Amino acid sequence: LITDIHHANKVEAGQRYYRQALPKLREAFRFQGRENLDRIVHLGDLVDSVREVAVEEFSIQTVAAEFKKFGKPFHFVMGNHCLSGVNKARYRALTGTAARHEFFDVGGVRILCLDACYRADSVAYEVGNFDWKDTSIPAAEVAWLERHLRRAQGPCVVLAHQLLDPVPPYCVANHAEVRAAIARSGKVIAVIQGHYHQNRYTEIDGVPYIVLRSIIEGPRISDRGSSVLSVFEDGSAALKGFSFQQSYSLRR
Strand-strand pairing, 102-106 and 248-250: unpaired
Mean pLDDT computed over 122-139 = 96
- Neighbouring residues of 174: CB distance < 8 A, sequence distance ≥ 6: 120, 136, 137, 142
Q: What amino acid is encoded at 137 in this protein?
A: I
Question: Terminus-to-terminus CA distance in the chain, angstroms?
Answer: 21
Mean pLDDT computed over 112-138 = 97
Q: Which of 171, 217, 163, 187 is nearest to 12 (CA)?
A: 217
Mean pLDDT computed over 131-135 = 98
3-state DSSP call for residue 204? strand
Average pLDDT, the chain: 95
pLDDT digits (tens, 9 = 90+) for 228-239: 999 998 889 999
What does pTM read for this prediction? 0.96
For residue 50, what pLDDT band results from cuts at 50, 70 and 90? Answer: confident
Res 32: pLDDT:
82
8 A C-beta contact, residue 221 and residue 188: no
Strand-strand pairing, 207-211 and 200-204: antiparallel
pLDDT digits (tens, 9 = 90+) for 186-204: 999 999 999 999 999 999 9
pLDDT digits (tens, 9 = 90+) for 153-168: 999 999 999 999 999 9
Checking if the pLDDT of 35 tops 70, the result is yes
Res 36: pLDDT:
87
CA 142, CA 88: separation in Å to the nearest integer? Answer: 19
Res 252: pLDDT:
64
